[in-house]
Structure 1
Amino acid sequence: DSDKAISTKSLKHKEATLKGCPAKDTNLNSIKN
């Protein structure tokens, strides 16, 4: 389940980056780091 959650976050991260959402992008980067 954890792997699926990470994959989902990665997909959302890519979508946010493509759409140009700095707020979500920064938040997900903080979680990864």
Structure 2
Amino acid sequence: MEITSNISFISIMLKETQKYNAVVISATWYSYN
């Protein structure tokens, strides 16, 4: 159970990180163009 919950937590964190990265990349792109 511990391993499964860790995998779920990591996958959620990765999804949130991807959303954050998309926002940062968009903001950076707009600021340079």
Identity %: 24
Gaps in structure 2 of 5+ consecutive residues:
23-33
Aligned structure 1 segments of 4 or more residues deviating by more than 3 angstroms:
none
Given the alignment of the two structures, is residue 9 of structure 1 paired with residue 15 of structure 2, yes or no? no
In our comparison, the structure showing a higher alpha carbon Rg is 2
Number of equivalenced pairs: 21
Higher normalized helix content (fraction of residues): 2
**Larger RCO: 1 or 2 (CA < 8 Å, sep 6+):** 1
State the secondary structure of the residue aligned to 1:20. Answer: helix
Aligned-residue Cα RMSD (Å) equals 1.5
Question: Where in structure 1 are there 5+ consecutive unaligned residues?
Answer: 22-33
